[in-house]
Amino acid sequence: MVAPTNFNEQIYRGKAFEGFVQFQIPDGSTWYRLKERQSMSVSFNYLRIGHYSDSGKKALDPSGIGHSFSMDIKLTSDMFSNTAWTYTNGVLDSGINIDKKTLSYWLYKNELNEPIEMVFVTSFPTLSAPAPTTNDDVNIKIHMDPNQFSTGLSASGGSPELKVTGEVLSITHAIRSAGTDQ
């Protein structure tokens, strides 16, 4: 019998879940990694406005970028703080010491309208490419603003999940790793 593998260990995270998500405190240097990421999807939307030129040909003018993401996370109790938010005269107190390694902290920061950032990093294998290229990995790093959080419980049981959606702030890189054709 083969011994079970704990895929939550750091060495297995990149390949077992094919990526990881980390939150950044606005100081720009403090990062906390989530231990679970079950699914992640990103939609790249390059907006263009169509119009007709004087010659009657259709032209498309860039009008912005509207990238978005959606991520589902299996919830565990350690993802939440045991510190309650407090209000004074109907205003959320901004000096509460909430554990920064929890989703509670990021919900709290959103309630205060303070910026937070999430980074998705992945390296995933690709299908075989025409020779002489090999089966290289693709490495992607995306910075995101999580601004919608939703969850629910199923009557049939199972693990609760949190859906996090929002805007993509930047794509740091989307590159193929070095292969034999380099």
Distance CA 3, CA 8 (A): 15
**How large is the greatest C-alpha to C-alpha distance in the chain, in angstroms?**
75
pTM for this structure? 0.69
More confident residue, 55 or 8: 55
More confident residue, 161 or 69: 69
Average pLDDT of span 41-62: 87
More confident residue, 152 or 3: 152
B/e letters for 60-91, b = 16+ CB within 10 Å, e = fewer, are eeeeeeebbbebbbeeeeebebeeeeeeeeee
Could you tell me where the beta strands, DSSP code E, fall in the chain? Answer: 20-24, 31-33, 39-43, 46-52, 58-65, 68-74, 87-88, 91-92, 117-125, 137-152, 161-176
Helix (H) or strand (E) holding 16: helix 10-16
Distance CA 35, CA 43 (A): 24
Residue 38 has pLDDT above 90, yes or no: no
List the 20-24 sheet strands across, edge first: 31-33, 20-24, 117-125, 137-152, 161-176, 68-74, 39-43
Tokens of 156: 């049939």
Average pLDDT of span 158-174: 85
Residue 165 has pLDDT above 70, yes or no: yes
Which pLDDT score, from 0 to 100, does residue 126 have? 67
Confidence of residue 148 (pLDDT cuts 50, 70, 90): very high
More confident residue, 173 or 147: 147
Tokens of 74: 């299996």
